[in-house]
Amino acid sequence: MNTPTTPRIDARRLWQSLMELAQIGATPKGGVCRIALTDEDRRGRDLVARWCREAGLDLRIDEVGNMFARRAGRDPQARVVATGSHIDTQPSGGKFDGNFGVLAGLEVMRTLNDLGMETRAPLEVVVWTNEEGTRFTPVMMGSGAFAGVFTPDFVHAQKDTAGLAVGDELRRIDYLGAQPCGEVPGGMFAAYFEAHIEQGPVLEAQGLPIGVVTGALGQQWYDVTVTGMDAHAGPTPMALRQDAMLATARMVEAINHIALQEAPHARGTVGFVQVQPNSRNVIPGCVLFSVDFRHLTQSGLDRMDAEMRSRFGHIASAGKVAVDIHQVVKFEPCLFDAACVASVRQAADALQLPHMEVVSGAGHDAVYVAGVAPAGMIFIPCKDGISHNEIEDALPEHVAAGANVLLLAMLERAC
């Protein structure tokens, strides 16, 4: 019920802010290209920083470029209740991925200013550096450094394909801050909430405006090399071939079967394949491909890993080829803080917004933050479940709903 005790954000102002930010790096198809630590990223950061200052927030920047905008609370001893996301995008990204979470947080602050409301604890909006990992790896770089997964020196040394380093680019765009990474004035976050588009089709398919996110799938990525023998496609009989591509095809099918055996919270994807020598009349002698496994539990990931190695070994033996499996990424499964999840659920109930529990299949900054502070997430639908795409879209009413849930969840923890 919309009563004086149930504050609501200014939906029109939030939408206008999203559309204005989307003009920085706008693409012809209506998307956004604002890659981390580029001139467009600097312009986006400058705009958000200006809005934060206009809202009376105290802005700090840490040594990996993370931005923290704080609204003071009544109790100087209280630990901050934070929210945030990122504003860097994919090369062909959309208006909402990350941007919604940052600007929903800013809208919470603006709304409380409009209402003249004080909170016991301070509130903070965070803009995390290089979440997408498009130009610099690893992904979720800023939140990972904040959580102590990466050192600032490691972050500063990472280079893009042109040989430009993160530290130098942070300095160039004037976002190399002085605050030590991971240091929070007054102590680590009492709670952290991140609002985000779902980036999948479940909420839209169910006709629900809010997802109460209980956790995120763990991820394990692999580089696989299958080595056979290059040979002429004409003179070499089928039974005598050492065809690396044929074995790879069977391995790709095996990845799909392994994930299906672990339904519903398992994913298995081969997204990259490189064939050598890649000639139409030569039997492929070497294939490189990627494997992306995701699961809600580490035991599930372990089962998938073991099954993959077993199946790949049998396929390689039958095909008279060799296979090498190298794990390159590992993210532990994440279960969000029960109290933060409850705050999101209670906020949706108070607003009479239909909702369901969901698990994130993608990585988010909240996953790293959850390693050092209580954390939770709020999902809203995106059209056709499409994200990392210029046509990514969300309905204004869903954007407003997610921001209102964020507002109440933060107030519940900060008042």
Q: Please check whether residue 394 is in contact with residue 380, taking contact to mean a CB–CB distance below 8 angstroms.
A: yes
Rounded Cα distance between 33 and 22, Å, is 9
The structure's pTM equals: 0.90
Residue 385, classed as helix, strand or coil, is helix
d(CA 26, CA 94): 9
Digit-coded pLDDT (tens) for 27-54 = 999 999 999 999 999 999 999 999 999 9
Residue 166 counted as domain residue: yes
Alpha-carbon distance of 312 to 322, in angstroms, equals 9
CA angle 409, 144, 200 (to 5 degrees): 60
pLDDT attached to residue 2: 39
Q: What is the mean pLDDT of residues 389-395?
A: 97
49: tokens are 């920083």
Peptide bond into 264 cis (omega under 30): yes
Q: Give the pLDDT of residue 329.
A: 85
Helical segments of 262-289, H only: none
Query: Once rounded to an integer, what is the mean pLDDT over residues 341-367?
Result: 96
Asked if 172 and 278 sit in the same domain, the reply is no
Two tokens, residue 111: 């709304």
Structure confidence at residue 76 (pLDDT): 86
Q: Compute the distance between CA of residue 85 and CA of residue 193 in angstroms, rounded to an integer.
A: 9
What is the number of structural domains in the chain? 2
Of the candidates 270, 303, 331, which is a domain's last residue? 331
Same domain, 292 and 343: no
Q: Do both 230 and 244 map to the same domain?
A: yes
Print the domain residue range for 268.
218-331
Tens digit of pLDDT for each residue in 71-107?
Answer: 999 998 999 999 999 999 999 999 999 999 999 999 9
CA distance 391 to 182: 35
3-state secondary structure (DSSP) of residue 394: coil
* Helix/strand/coil for 393: coil
User: Is 94 within 8 Å of 389 (Cβ atoms)?
Assistant: yes
Pairing verdict, β 123-127 and 67-71: antiparallel
CA distance 410 to 367: 18
CATH number of the domain at 258, please.
3.30.70.360
Q: Mean pLDDT across the chain, nearest whole number?
A: 96
DSSP type of residue 30: S
The CATH number of residue 393's host domain is: 3.40.630.10
Residues 310 and 358 in one domain: no
Residue 2 located in a structural domain: no
Whether the CB-CB separation of 190 and 78 falls below 8 Å is answered with: yes
Does residue 66 share a domain with residue 185? yes
Say yes or no to pLDDT of 67 above 90: yes
Identify whether residues 325 and 346 lie together within a single domain. Answer: no
Query: Based on the domain organization, do 156 and 60 belong to the same domain?
Result: yes
Tell which residue, 68, 281, 71, has the closest CA to residue 175. 68
Domain boundary residue among 316, 331, 346?
331
Cis before 138 (ω within 30): yes
Question: CB–CB of 262/295 below 8 Å?
Answer: yes
